[in-house]
Amino acid sequence: MFSLPIRIYWEDTDAGGVVYHAQYLAFLERARSEWMREHGYGQELLRLQHDLVFAVRAMTLDFLKPARLDDAIEVTAELCQCRRASAVFAQAVRRGDELLLTAQVRVAALDARGFRPRAIPPPLHDQLKALEHPAA
């Protein structure tokens, strides 16, 4: 499973040193972006070569425990489902063995110029489909 290490800085927290809830969205986005890059599909490459961008369509988050200032966390990303014009990722945030957050994120495929829904190009769709790990 892909995992992105992140250190919690002051800018990520509220006045009490606890990670601000909206900051988790940035952490999840970074992990999905790096997952795509690791598999050869950086966002700029997708935009330029495939006229394709992915945008979050829906997201379900379960906040279990807080991350705090100076924590070292791991943000995971795993492709659970690749459909013709969307994909679903299972994501989690951990501090060591502690599960802090779980997320399910659906991203929609859009054309890069007009931001209209579109199908994922067949060769790319086939490659992403091969990377699926359906949720248990």
Question: Which pLDDT score is estimated for 134?
Answer: 82
> Domain range holding 110?
2-130
Place of tokens 């790990």: 133
Q: Does residue 136 lie within any of the structural domains?
A: no
Find the CATH number of the domain harbouring 88.
Answer: 3.10.129.10
Give the pLDDT of residue 109.
Answer: 97
Residue 9 in domain: yes
Q: DSSP string covering 58-107, please? A: EEEEEE-S--BTT-EEEEEEEEEEE-SSEEEEEEEEEETTEEEEEEEEEE
State the average pLDDT for the chain.
95
pLDDT band, residue 1 (cuts 50/70/90): confident
Give φ, ψ of 11 to 5 degrees: -65, -15
Residues designated as active site: 14
Q: What pLDDT is attached to residue 113?
A: 92
Number of domains in the chain: 1
Taken in order 108, 112, 116, 119, the sign of the CA dihedral is: negative
Residue appearing with tokens 């919690």 = 8
